[in-house]
Structure 1
Amino acid sequence: MSAEIMPYVVAGAMAGGFINGLAGFGTALFALGFFLVVLPPFQAVAMLVVLSVITGLQGLWIVRAAIRQNTRRLARFLLPGLAGIPIGVMILSVIDASTLKIVVASMLLLYGGYFTLRARLPRFERATPFWDMLVGFLGGILGGAASLSGALPMMWCTLRPWPKQETRAVLQPFNVAVLAVTTILLALKGAYTRETLIYLAIAIPAALLAAQIGITVFKRLSDTAFRRLLILMTFVSGLVLMLRAVL
């Protein structure tokens, strides 16, 4: 690794790790901009999914009790989501990924912008197992087609007045599982070369340290503040995705 590449790899790993520790997702959103300056896209994505999974495991630990208490809810999202991944991969061969990203980015911008400006957040309280399964399934399809597995679950969870631990107990395991599958697929394609593994050996400690800082901030947030953070992240995700798709 050259001296020019190292600062970008470390900065990207720390930015992605911090937001993952804070919100339970968003590693790629904050790290990819750093990585793409010095790394080719395929290598950058291969690193990001590993960092997302590893930092996500720390986040899973802090909400382990909420996961155990809501295993059926998580299963309603996760199992259909995993089933949707191969369908998304097949759809990718007939649908332009850039167009799909613009459509999803528009949804995120409208949703995030609308609820960011609202003084009161929605409270959709009744149980909706069918819709939970549908959101998870569509999230898996978007993950396979455009690496956007978290977009719909994030939007759906912000509608629910769940405590922050319960919200994270859905989002984080969902993203970790989907990205773990992605990591395996990339490994089968030979993504993890000796050079990439060296970069990861440097990036992982930085990401883990930053994730701990993010987790510390997460513990200090109220449930309402965490929901507002997710809505803001929805808007920012849409903005970044739109800029990347257009530019």
Structure 2
Amino acid sequence: MTTEVIMMLVLGAAAGGFVNGLAGFGTSLFALGFWLQVFPPVKAVAISLVVASVTGIQGLWVVRETILSNPHRTLRFLVPGFVGIPFGISALRYVDPTILKLVVAGFMLLYGGFFVLRRRLPTLDHRAPKVDMAVGLTGGFMGGLAGISGAVPVIWCTLHPWTKRETRAVLQPFNLTILAVSAVILAFQGTYDAAMLQAILIALCVSVTAAQLGIFAFGRIGDVQFRWLLIILMFVSGAVLMSRTLAAG
């Protein structure tokens, strides 16, 4: 493993771990911006699935009481998400690397743009269980495809007048479960080898520590600060990946 690979591995793990600890999602979204520069798509996604799953356990404990207070809401997202996983994994092996990079970068920019407009968007104060299920299905597909299961759910959840803990109580268990199942499926397919396990070990050491810093920040920032931090992270990471991919193409 070269110095460049280790550096990108550490940077991606630090960025993804911190964001996961802070927001309850986003490990793969931010880590892949670095890891796709040094790993092929299948390998980068496979590593991110394991790292996101293990890292997310810490954040799950933070909102355990909120989750248990309304488990049916989480299940409306989670059950359809299982259905989407195998379709996403099947599509992964047929996706061109450049296209995958652009898709990930596009979601980063979409996230940032969404939060910029957040104050002007309507607030949905009524239940929409069918939409919840459709969002969960899409999240499961994207989780299997690129390890970014939270991309669509986070936009939908934030439209609701939920507190940041209520939003995280949906996103954290959804992402953790979807990504963990995806990782298990890839393991049964023989995706993980000794070199990948070494990379995962390095990434976990960094991401678990970074997640603790994110959790610390989560408990001490307000909703407005939380939103602007996401904007900065989304635009910077998305813009860097997008520019590198287009330049390479």
| TM-score normalized with structure 1 length | 0.81
- In the alignment, structure 1 residue 200 sits paired with structure 2 residue 200: yes
Q: Is the 8 A contact 1:29 1:240 kept in 2?
A: no
Identity %: 53
Is 1:181 the counterpart of 2:181 in the alignment? yes
- How many residue pairs match? The answer is 247
Give the structure 2 partner of residue 164 of structure 1.
164
Give 1:149's aligned residue: 149
Report the more deviating stretch, 14-23 or 218-227.
218-227
CA offsets 1:153-195 (integer angstroms, 9 cap, x no match): 1110110110111100111111111111111122122222122
Q: Aligned with 1:125: secondary structure?
A: coil
Inter-CA distance 97–137: structure 2 relative to 1 (3 Å threshold): farther
Q: Does structure 2 conserve the Cα–Cα contact (< 8 Å) formed by 1:78 and 1:136?
A: yes
Q: TM-score normalized by structure 2?
A: 0.81
Where does residue 45 of structure 2 map in the other structure? 45
1:94–1:17 Cα change, 3 Å = closer
Moved more, 129-138 or 204-213: 129-138
Counting only pairs closer than 5 Å after superposition, residues 1-247 of structure 1 correspond to structure 2 as 1-89=1-89, 109=109, 112-113=112-113, 115-117=115-117, 119-120=119-120, 122-227=122-227, 247=249
1:31/1:176 CA distance change after superposition, 3 Å: same
Aligned-partner Cα distance in 2 for 1:12–1:196: 15
Cα distance, 1:150–1:118 mapped onto 2, change above 3 Å: closer
2:219 partner SS = helix
Q: Distance in 1 between matches of 2:234 and 2:2?
A: 35
Question: Residue 118 and residue 180 in structure 1: after superposition, are their counterparts in 2 closer, same or farther (change >3 A)?
Answer: closer
Q: 8 Å contact 1:46–1:183 — kept in the other structure?
A: yes
Q: Which secondary structure state, in structure 2, belongs to the residue aligned with residue 220 of structure 1?
A: coil
Distance 1:232 1:132, change over 3 A: farther
The residue type equivalent to 1:49 in the other structure is L
Match of 1:11, SS? helix
| Partners of 1:18 and 1:150 in 2: CA distance | 15
1:80-120 superposed Cα distances (whole Å, 9 cap, x missing partner): 11122234456679998977986897687567526514644
| Distance apart, 1:73 and its partner CA | 0.2
Distance 1:107 1:29 in 2: 8
